[in-house]
Amino acid sequence: MPAQPDPDFFDLTAWPMAFIRFPELHEPERVARLLAGLDGLLARQQPFVAIWSLPSHDHDDEPHADEKAAILWIKKHKVPLNQLCQGYVYITDDSALQTLLKERLQTVSKTLYRFPMRVVANRQMAIEVAGSMLAGR
């Protein structure tokens, strides 16, 4: 069985809600640690919702090699991810970032993911939305 997801990035105390913190650019082995943690979630073979806390940097600032590694992981794990993940919820209270994320999510939801993705302003809203996703609503 794969190692447990890195507690620096993953909080599974409310499983099947997985609170995941996107790592900052300066964190060592950040992409490998994040992807290994996602492997660990899939290895549980249980439905879950990923609740993401965003980093301080923009997605466009990601180094090319890191972006490529993430895309390759998604392509490799697309089937089990779409089978087990009941949704992604992103938390940000920045209204401009909420708008930008919603636009970006419309693009990726059409090509990669078969589960709902939502952007909310706070943790409590994320828990409510994730609960609905897990209940199939």
110 — pLDDT class (breaks 50, 70, 90)? low
- Identify the residue with better confidence: 105 or 7: 7
β-strands 48-53, 85-91 pairing? parallel
Sorted by where each begins, the domain ranges of the chain are 10-134
Interhelix angle 30-43/64-84, rounded to 10 degrees, is 10
Class of residue 88 by CB neighbours under 10 A (exposed 0-12, middle 13-18, buried 19+) = buried
How far is Cα 91 from Cα 7, in angstroms, rounded to an integer? 19
Q: What is the mean pLDDT of the chain?
A: 90
> Could you give the angle at the alpha carbon of 34 between the alpha carbons of 10 and 125, nearest 5°?
45
pLDDT tens profile 34-81: 999 999 999 999 999 999 998 876 666 677 888 899 889 999 999 999
- Assessment of whether the complete model's pTM goes beyond 0.75: yes
- Identify the residue with better confidence: 60 or 13: 13
pLDDT at 60: 66
Number of Cβ within 10 Å of residue 119's Cβ equals: 22
Q: What is the mean pLDDT of residues 70-97?
A: 93
